[in-house]
Amino acid sequence: MPAISSLRSQRLSELRPDIGKQYVAFRLRLAWFILPIESIYRVIPLEKHIPKITLAGQNVPLIDLGKILFGQTKVQVSDIPQLVVNGASVSSKPSLIIVCNQKEDLIGILSNSQPALQRVAQDQIVPLPPTYSERWKVDFISSMTLPSKDLPSLFEINSDRLISTVLKKNK
């Protein structure tokens, strides 16, 4: 009986459209970014102060990626497109997202919103246009989703490249 069940589930999965890969979406100042869920180590809601994070006796470097990408740009909340996940707007409460790479190195990213799970089909992701890569001058953002009426653009961060860049600067 299990052979028939697995054949049936295989056929049904072929009929389903690409349900996409799971990402964690969060806001950095002016824009929304995504990281693959496998690269998220922990999420810490921030209240009044930013905690010092240590793991196995090592300090985890914390970065304000929004400041690196956008500088001191002042942001009006009304200028930022809202991200709606499962019918609810993502909250603007700040969070600290601890990100890991394949070598299990960690860094913390200060986020301007609570992170939200977001499923993105691979055919929705396109290479980053040159206008963004010239303005940001970073190599850890290489793709994005195109905006739709329901979803703002989401910029995909490569956690391995981001962590190696941050750790090189901290040495």
What are 110-159's pLDDT values in tens digits? 998 889 888 998 888 999 988 887 777 788 998 999 888 878 899 999 99
- Give the percent of the chain with pLDDT over 70: 77
Q: What is the pLDDT of residue 15?
A: 55
What is the band of 53 on the pLDDT scale with cuts at 50, 70, 90? confident
Phi (first) and psi of residue 73, to 5 degrees = -55, 130
* 148 Cβ contact partners less than 8 Å away, ≥ 6 residues apart: none
Mean pLDDT of 101-108: 89
What is the band of 73 on the pLDDT scale with cuts at 50, 70, 90? low
Mean pLDDT over each residue of the chain, to the nearest integer:
81
Q: What is the value of pTM for the model shown?
A: 0.78
Task: Read off the amino acid at residue 115.
Answer: P
Query: Is the pLDDT higher at 93 or at 98?
Result: 98
* 46 Cβ contact partners less than 8 Å away, ≥ 6 residues apart: 93, 94, 95, 96, 110
Lowest-pLDDT range, 10-24, 41-55, 91-105, 122-136?
A: 10-24
Q: Tell me how far apart the alpha carbons of residues 73 and 58 are, in angstroms, rounded to a whole number.
A: 32
Lowest-pLDDT range, 87-91, 129-133, 159-163, 166-170?
A: 87-91
| Nearest one of 71, 60, 69, 156 to 108, comparing CA atoms | 60
Mean pLDDT of 83-90: 63
Q: What is the pLDDT of residue 46?
A: 87
Region for residue 29 given its phi and psi (left: phi exceeds 0; alpha: psi -120 to 50; beta: otherwise) = left
Q: What is the pLDDT of residue 167?
A: 83
- Give the percent of the chain with pLDDT over 90: 28
Domain boundaries, the chain: 18-170
